[in-house]
Amino acid sequence: MSRLEGKVIVITGGAGGIGRAAGKLFVAEGAQVLLVDVNESALEDAVNEVGSNSASYCVADVTSSADNARMFALADERYGGVDGFLANAGIEGDVKSIVDYDEDRFDAVMNVNVKGVFLGLKHAIPHLEKRGGGSIVITSSVAGVTGSPGVAPYVTSKHAVVGMMRSAAKECAALNIRVNTVNPSPVETRMMRSLEEGLAPGQAEQAKASMEAAIPLQRYAQPDDIAKVMLFLESDDSQFITGSVYMADGGMTT
């Protein structure tokens, strides 16, 4: 398989479940991948899981402009350029009502989930332009198109990146750079374990069962389910697609 043959892709949130799955799939399809995260030991484990000399890592904080500049420069140095960017880093924040939500925690969610994407775009676009174009995929969520009680900052952040994507898609079209979001339903990852416990302390399994019942396909997504949609959008198979919201939600928002 070689749908990404010769392409270099930077993946933030590379040590998480979706980031790892995407890295492994992209490499299998011929890409060279730079996995980016704040946790070096988790990144080392992720690169070992990918199991290829076509993957490496960079420890960086997506909320730092300097770190964003460094990650793309490093991909350029190691692999000769950048063709794709998967803006996948994100945090869930707390499960609390708006009136009880801590302001610093709100800022933290916005910094990672919104500013992190903005800075990634800011530094990725010039590198993709030098290569004659490419593809940017932003991880949003079903929370990017619907509301949900108890997680207003997270919901707000995932709505925000949809708007950012649509603006970036129009700005970048003349540069032959496509920009889209993938909006997953709950996925079998650490983040969902945290949210389940937050929604129903001590009864996380019941919270999971309730959320699965709201999904027509009656299950959470696996990380690979989401990575396959991202593969399509990073590949030339989607060369006429930009400015689109791709729901990977098992019918949850139908």
Q: What's the pLDDT score for residue 154?
A: 96
Is the pLDDT confidence value at 1 over 80? no
Q: Are 83 and 32 in contact (CB under 8 A)?
A: no
Q: What mean pLDDT is predicted for residues 11-21?
A: 97
Q: Which of 86, 43, 29, 42 is nearest to 226 (CA)?
A: 86
Could you give the CA distance from residue 126 to residue 173 in angstroms, rounded to a whole number? 13
Q: What's the pLDDT score for residue 198?
A: 84
Res. 207 pLDDT band, cuts 50 70 90: confident
Record the pTM: 0.95
Q: Which residue(s) pair with 86 in the sheet?
A: 11, 137
**Domain covering 8-184+223-247: architecture:** 3-Layer(aba) Sandwich (3.40)
Q: What mean pLDDT is predicted for residues 137-159?
A: 97
Of 137-141, 199-203, 228-232, which gets the smallest average pLDDT? Answer: 199-203
Q: Is 147 exposed, middle or buried (0-12, 13-18, 19+ CB in 10 A)?
A: exposed
Could you give the CA distance from residue 9 to residue 12 in angstroms, rounded to a whole number? 10
- Please state, in angstroms and as integers, the Cα–Cα distance from residue 43 to each residue in 38, 46, 159, following that order: 8, 5, 28
Buried b or exposed e, range 192-220, using 16+ CB within 10 angstroms: bebbbebbbeeebeebbeebbeebeeeeb
Is the pLDDT confidence value at 203 over 90? no
Res. 206 pLDDT band, cuts 50 70 90: confident
- What's the mean pLDDT when you consider all of the chain? 96
Q: Where, residue-wise, is CATH 3.40.50.720 in the chain?
A: 8-184+223-247
Q: State the Cα angle at 214 between 198 and 212, rounded to 5°.
A: 60
Contacts of 27 (CB under 8 A, 6+ apart): 33, 50, 52, 54, 55
Q: What mean pLDDT is predicted for residues 165-189?
A: 96
Q: What is the set of active-site residues?
A: 154
Q: What is the pLDDT of residues 24-61, one digit of tens each?
A: 999 999 999 999 999 999 999 999 999 889 999 999 99
Task: Show the tokens assigned to 2.
Answer: 């070689």
